[in-house]
């Protein structure tokens, strides 16, 4: 009787054994792809952007001169560019604050008051706009806000035409029509980014234990006091998380300012035209660091408020 050789373990089996023995291999396999993405693709493109910003545009040939220089960064800090940044930051801040004001009551109602059924319907209502294309929504707002558009028609029917005209005559926010004013632009920004504010606030409010509210009431706090000292502090992480979305999305958007508003450039638009129209890649790259710097400051502040615990 000849001894049968021990069956050779199959390849998958051997790999599994090796992985079980070597913890590091396991880890490398799990994190390899994501870290390649983060460090290689994401970090790499940021580094190349930074590198580009130290080149400059040769004014004669219109080509990029690849000798390291700080000239491009000097060009960035002109008053025109800084006013673009200021306009964008002001809009992003206003949009964020108003989004909080609009989203909070809705999220509060969804979390504390709504029945299970109506809560589902409300979540659906908040999410449904996200199912259609962003561009379609922006363009339809252009038609709604136009001088001969739907909103103006209603306003006229209601006899409020004079009030709207007075509003549009206001300095800064006004303009020839709603669709050609900061006011209209602001309305569209709030509309487009609102879902990103409602959902994190609702999530954070859902996690407020109902017993806290009862305890607060038992201790004699009025509803207002309960809100101020119990609900709001616990909701802050959600508000901060939502504001990261609305703030950064407004900061980087370059579609809405081209379709709605008076064509005043925003950061995204300025980067786009420096890169595309002017072929001034170095300046576009340097400009791209403005929103990055603003967001870095913002995220540091948001982290202090505990925003990342609610994501």
Partner 1 sequence: MRGRHAAWLMATAVLIAACGGDDDGGAAGAIEDLGDNEDKVVIVAWPGYIERGETDPAYDWVTQFEADSGCTVEVKTAGTSDEMVALMTGSDEFDLVTASGDASLRLIAGGTVQPVNTELVPSWDSVDERLQNAPWHTVDGVHYGVPYQWGANVLAYNTEVFGDTPPDSWSVVFEQTTLPDGQTNEGRVQAYDGPIYVADAALYLKSAQPDLGIEDPYQLTEDQYKAALELLRTQRTLVGRYWHDAFIQMADFTTEGVAASSSWPFQINVLQAEGAPIASTVPKEGATGWADTTMMHANAPHPNCAYAWLEWSIDPKVQGDLASWFGSVPAVPDACDGNDLLGAAGCTTNGFDNFDRILFWKTPTDDCNGTAAAGSCVPYYRWVTDYLAVIGGR
Q: List contacts with partner 1 (CB under 8 A).
A: 47-48, 50-51, 57, 59-63, 66, 68, 75, 78-80, 83-84, 87, 142-143, 146-149, 175-177, 179-180, 258-259, 261-265, 270, 273-274, 276-280
Shortest distance, CB of residue 193 to partner 1, whole angstroms? 22
Report the residue number, 209 or 276, with the smaller CB distance to partner 1. 276
Burial class of residue 137, CB neighbours in 10 A (0-12, 13-18, 19+): middle
Shortest distance, CB of residue 181 to partner 1, whole angstroms? 9
CA distances from 24 to 18, 28, 29, 34 (A): 11, 6, 9, 16
- Specify whether the CB–CB gap between 240 and 310 falls below 8 A: yes
295 phi and psi angles, rounded to 5 deg: -65, -35
Report the residue number, 176 or 209, with the smaller CB distance to partner 1. 176
CA distances from 140 to 127, 145, 192, 286 (A): 18, 9, 12, 34
Shortest distance, CB of residue 101 to partner 1, whole angstroms? 28
Report the residue number, 261 or 291, with the smaller CB distance to partner 1. 261
* Residue in this structure with the two tokens 């006899």, named with its chain if needed: 159
Shortest distance, CB of residue 131 to partner 1, whole angstroms? 24
Listed residue (193, 190, 197) closest to 107, CA to CA: 197
CA distances from 157 to 22, 151, 160 (A): 75, 10, 8
| Cα angle 197, 247, 133; round to 5 | 65
Report the residue number, 68 or 220, with the smaller CB distance to partner 1. 68
Region for residue 261 given its phi and psi (left: phi exceeds 0; alpha: psi -120 to 50; beta: otherwise) = left
Shortest distance, CB of residue 292 to partner 1, whole angstroms? 17
- In the chain, the largest separation of any two C-alpha atoms, in whole Å, equals 108
Report the residue number, 196 or 266, with the smaller CB distance to partner 1. 266
Report the residue number, 4 or 59, with the smaller CB distance to partner 1. 59
Report the residue number, 7 or 68, with the smaller CB distance to partner 1. 68
Shortest distance, CB of residue 63 to partner 1, whole angstroms? 7
Residues paired with 56 in a beta bridge: 65
Cβ within 8 Å of residue 269, ≥6 positions away:
254, 257, 258
Shortest distance, CB of residue 134 to partner 1, whole angstroms? 16
Shortest distance, CB of residue 56 to partner 1, whole angstroms? 10
Report the residue number, 88 or 204, with the smaller CB distance to partner 1. 88
* Residue in this structure with the two tokens 């190349």, named with its chain if needed: 48
């Amino acid at each position: 009787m000849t001894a049968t050789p021990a069956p050779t373990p199959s390849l998958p089996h051997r790999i599994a054994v090796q992985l079980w023995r070597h913890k590091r291999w396991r880890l490398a396999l799990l994190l390899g792809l994501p870290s390649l993405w983060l460090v290689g693709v994401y970090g790499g493109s940021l580094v190349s952007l930074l590198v580009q910003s130290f080149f400059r545009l040769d004014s004669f040939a219109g080509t990029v001169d690849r000798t390291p220089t700080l000239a491009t960064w000097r060009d960035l800090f002109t008053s025109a560019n800084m006013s673009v940044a200021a306009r964008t930051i002001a809009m992003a801040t206003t949009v964020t604050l108003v989004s909080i004001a609009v989203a909070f009551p809705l999220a509060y109602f969804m979390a504390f008051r709504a029945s299970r059924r109506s809560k589902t319907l409300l979540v659906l209502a908040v999410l449904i706009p996200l199912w259609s294309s962003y561009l379609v929504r922006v363009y339809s707002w252009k038609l709604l806000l136009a001088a001969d558009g739907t909103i103006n028609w209603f306003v006229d029917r209601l006899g409020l035409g004079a009030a709207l005209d007075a509003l549009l005559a206001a300095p800064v926010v006004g303009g020839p029509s709603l669709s050609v004013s900061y006011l209209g632009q602001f309305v569209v920004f709030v509309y487009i980014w609102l879902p990103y504010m409602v959902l994190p606030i609702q999530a954070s409010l859902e996690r407020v234990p109902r017993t806290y509210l009862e305890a607060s009431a038992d201790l004699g706090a009025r509803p207002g006091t309960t809100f101020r000292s119990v609900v709001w502090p616990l909701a802050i992480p959600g508000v901060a998380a939502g504001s990261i979305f609305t703030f950064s999305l407004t900061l980087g958007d370059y579609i809405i300012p081209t379709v709605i508003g008076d064509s005043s450039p925003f950061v995204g638009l300025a980067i786009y035209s420096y890169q595309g129209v002017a072929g001034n890649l170095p300046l576009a790259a340097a400009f791209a660091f403005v929103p990055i710097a603003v967001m870095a400051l913002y995220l540091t502040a948001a982290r202090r408020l505990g925003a990342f615990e609610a994501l």
